[in-house]
């Protein structure tokens, strides 16, 4: 993990540790699967959805309550479930430097494992006892699935950048937006337009950066795999040539980062706001 990112995490280290403690599985599973799922959940991970949310709440002087840590753990479980399902869809063999569940076992058990994590997340959301939060996440999982379905039916079509942004909002941005919106509700505050805009812009920047890094770092297996499957992302959509596509994608990324920064301009200066700005700049510096 990037050293600058580690320093940002240190600002809310105690909060992140509480989130991690809330990500646990019961002993209901067969030991051989429980061991692999536990290893997957505890593999080096950014926990960026939790980090963004905690920094935003603390920067805006909202109080975190125990329900927030349950919520953030549920979000991490939903995210990890989606990764397991993605590995099946993409036929991936490696994730976070270790063998994927579909590779270690098979697709059937991997799909069920992802579903199990979704069940664990649902249990946590029920425990929180907020109908508005439950409603938000029911919609979010549905939207994430719609994004995956739309990507499937758009295979081998060079979609335009607007369609790419819509897909990214559905597959990635929705979860960022939902976790911040739900956290603000749990803090007893009103969800305003700026907070939604912030989370949406943050999530889009994160996804665009990920797609850009695959090209810049010459992750040929990922880029080639996407193209072979007929999936076009920003660098290939915007490209007249590869370098041109990279530069245009950087401009697109920086636009969303700057929009997110503007959403927190009115926050009072404090350690958490500074860390949040640093996190946004880290997304920008590709």
> What are the boundaries of each domain within the chain?
3-284
Entry pTM = 0.93
Position with higher pLDDT, 235 vs 202? 202
User: What is the pLDDT at residue 228?
Assistant: 76
Q: Which helix (H) or strand (E) holds 140?
A: helix 131-153
* 243 pLDDT above the threshold of 90: no
CA 91 to each of CA 86, 105, 155, 156: distance values in angstroms, whole numbers, following the listed order? 8, 13, 16, 18
pLDDT tens for 45-57 read 789 999 999 999 9
Summarize pLDDT for 3-40 with one digit per residue, the tens.
899 999 999 999 999 999 998 766 688 889 988 898 88
Nearest partner of 177 among 162, 195, 163, judged by Cα? 195
- Spell out the residues 6+ positions from residue 208 whose beta carbon is closer than 8 angstroms to its own: 168, 234, 249, 252, 253, 256
Long-range contacts, stretch 38-42, CB < 8 angstroms, 24+ apart: 39/98, 40/80, 40/84, 40/95, 40/96, 40/98, 40/101, 41/76, 41/77, 41/80
pLDDT for res 226: 76
Which of these, 117, 162, 131, lies nearest to 26 by C-alpha position? 117
Query: Which CATH number does 3-284 carry?
Result: 1.10.600.10
Those residues whose C-beta lies under 8 Å from the C-beta of residue 11, and which sit 6 or more positions away, are: 55, 271, 272, 275
The residue written with tokens 């999982």 in the block is 141
For residue 217, report the phi and psi dihedrals to the nearest 5 degrees.
Answer: -80, 5
């Amino acid at each position: 993990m990037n050293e600058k990112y580690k320093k940002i995490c240190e600002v809310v280290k105690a909060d992140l540790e509480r989130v991690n403690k809330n990500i646990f599985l019961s002993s209901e599973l067969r030991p051989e699967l429980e061991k692999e799922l536990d290893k997957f959940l505890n593999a080096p991970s950014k926990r960026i959805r939790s980090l963004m949310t905690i920094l935003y709440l603390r920067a805006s002087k909202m109080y975190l309550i125990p329900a927030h840590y349950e919520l953030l753990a549920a979000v991490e479980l939903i995210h990890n479930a989606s990764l397991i399902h993605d590995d099946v869809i993409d036929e991936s063999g490696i994730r976070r430097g270790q063998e994927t569940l579909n590779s270690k076992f098979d697709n059937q058990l991997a799909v069920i494992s992802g579903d199990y994590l979704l069940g664990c997340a649902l249990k946590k959301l029920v425990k929180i006892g907020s109908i508005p939060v439950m409603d938000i996440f029911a919609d979010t999982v549905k939207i994430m699935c719609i994004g995956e379905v739309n990507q499937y039916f758009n295979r081998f079509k060079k979609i335009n950048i607007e369609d790419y942004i819509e897909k990214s909002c559905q597959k990635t941005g929705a979860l960022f937006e939902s976790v911040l919106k739900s956290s603000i509700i749990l803090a007893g505050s009103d969800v305003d337009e700026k907070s939604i805009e912030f989370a949406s812009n943050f999530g889009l920047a994160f996804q665009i950066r990920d797609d850009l890094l695959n090209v810049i770092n010459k992750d040929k297996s990922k880029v080639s795999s996407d193209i072979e499957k007929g999936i076009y992302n920003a660098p290939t959509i915007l490209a007249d040539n590869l370098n041109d596509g990279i530069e245009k994608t950087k401009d697109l990324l920086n636009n969303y980062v700057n929009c997110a920064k503007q959403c927190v301009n009115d926050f009072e200066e404090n350690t958490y706001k500074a860390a949040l700005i640093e996190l946004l700049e880290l997304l920008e510096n590709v």
